[in-house]
Amino acid sequence: MIKPLSGGFFMQNHFLPKYKKPVRIIFLSLNQKKMRIFLSVCCLLLWSFFTSCNSSDPSNSRAYVTGKIVGTQVDYNKVTIKIISDNISVATTIPDSSGDFTLSGPLPNQKFSLALNQKIKSFSASKNGCERSSDQLRIEIPIGTTYITFHEIILE
């Protein structure tokens, strides 16, 4: 005598109860995998953002110089001002009509200088230790200084 399967073939729907739970498990595991990938990518992006924004590294330093040029009969359109580090000009500008200027640029080296195309008679700065070069065309900025204001630079 042949016995029917437990519960009988026609007594229950074999497709829904039998596959309903495994389909849910597969669907949940796919969502969990997608969520893990998404969170991993977000964490990686956040980590790279925070590590790249580190400004305490000396190789990331920038020079920022502001000041005012004064002098008798100075044509401000003919005066050029540069930040020079390692004999490389990292920033160049000309002063505005009142003699004010602002310069900023990356520093390949800790030491930099402010160079002008006209001789410097005297200057006053917000930081001590700045010196005129022997040719009087540059002001040497001390090592470690990245921001300086020249209250006045008097040209000959």
pTM for this model (two decimals): 0.62
Containing domain of residue 99, as a range? 58-155
- Number of domains making up the chain: 2
Instruction: Find out whether 148 and 111 touch, Cβ atoms under 8 Å.
Output: no
Residues 65 and 78 in one domain: yes
Residues 94 and 68 in one domain: yes
Residues 21 and 92 in one domain: no
Q: Is the pLDDT of residue 11 over 90?
A: no
Phi and psi angles of residue 134, each rounded to the nearest 5 degrees, phi first: -65, -30
Reported as a single tens digit per residue, the pLDDT across 30-86 is 577 777 888 888 888 888 877 765 555 556 788 999 999 998 888 889 999 999 998
In a domain, 6, yes or no: no
Residues 33 and 93 in one domain: no
Distance CA 53, CA 61 (A): 12
Q: Tokens 């006045």, residue?
A: 152
Distance CA 99, CA 94 (A): 9
Three-state SS for 141? strand
Residues 94 and 151 in one domain: yes
